[in-house]
Amino acid sequence: MQKLSAALLDLASRVKRVEDSAAAVEAKNHLKLQARREELEAAIDESHVELAGAATQAKESTRKVNSLFASHPPTPDRVELEKKHIELVLPDREQYIVTTSEFDKVKARLAQLDSRKPADRQQGPSLQRGRQGGGRTNPDPDDNGRPESRPEDRSPSQDDRPTLKRTDGTTDPATTP
């Protein structure tokens, strides 16, 4: 029986150590949780302060924007005011002037600009073919007056080459033979 009671005492002491160890771990975890809780509460307090500052700043900016638009009533009101102002400044007339000399001048100028050829509008150099017409069929005196069917059949001449010309009418000295 003594062995049994010694075994029970040994078991009781082991249980007591486990309980003490568990209590110590629980206390340690409780302290860690308490510290974390205090950190989170401090962070929440800081964010409340920041949010309060941001709210104050937003209110101030709203006031500034409202003060900027204080002289501008909302759009429908402004439209009505402008309609009334136009009626005061430009009263209705029985007959309106449809054309004026200035209008006719502008209209003629626009028609002139529209009627110009695209080549007239260019500012840079343009490609002009030689006197023979480039790829056009031309009569050949050696062929009894028959025109050539293809430009490749005849020998190239100086006049067949394209020539770059400046807009002022002169030719480029680098391309002149």
The closest alpha carbon to 160, from 138, 140, 132, 141, belongs to 132
Q: Indicate if the pLDDT at residue 72 is higher than 90.
A: no
- Across the chain, mean pLDDT equals 78
What is the pTM assigned to this prediction? Answer: 0.30
Phi and psi angles of residue 130, each rounded to the nearest 5 degrees, phi first: -70, 180
Phi and psi angles of residue 83, each rounded to the nearest 5 degrees, phi first: -60, -45
Which range, 14-18, 71-75, 88-92, is most confident?
14-18
Provide mean pLDDT across the span 142-166. 61
- Which DSSP state fits 172? P
Tell me how far apart the alpha carbons of residues 61 and 30 are, in angstroms, rounded to a whole number. Answer: 46
For 135, 142, 148, 158, the CA distances from 138, given in Å and listed in that order, are 9, 12, 6, 15
Q: What is the pLDDT of residues 9-46, one digit of tens each?
A: 889 999 999 999 999 999 999 999 999 999 999 999 99
Q: Indicate if the pLDDT at residue 69 is higher than 60.
A: yes
Domain boundaries, the chain: 1-72
pLDDT band at residue 120 under the 50/70/90 scheme: low
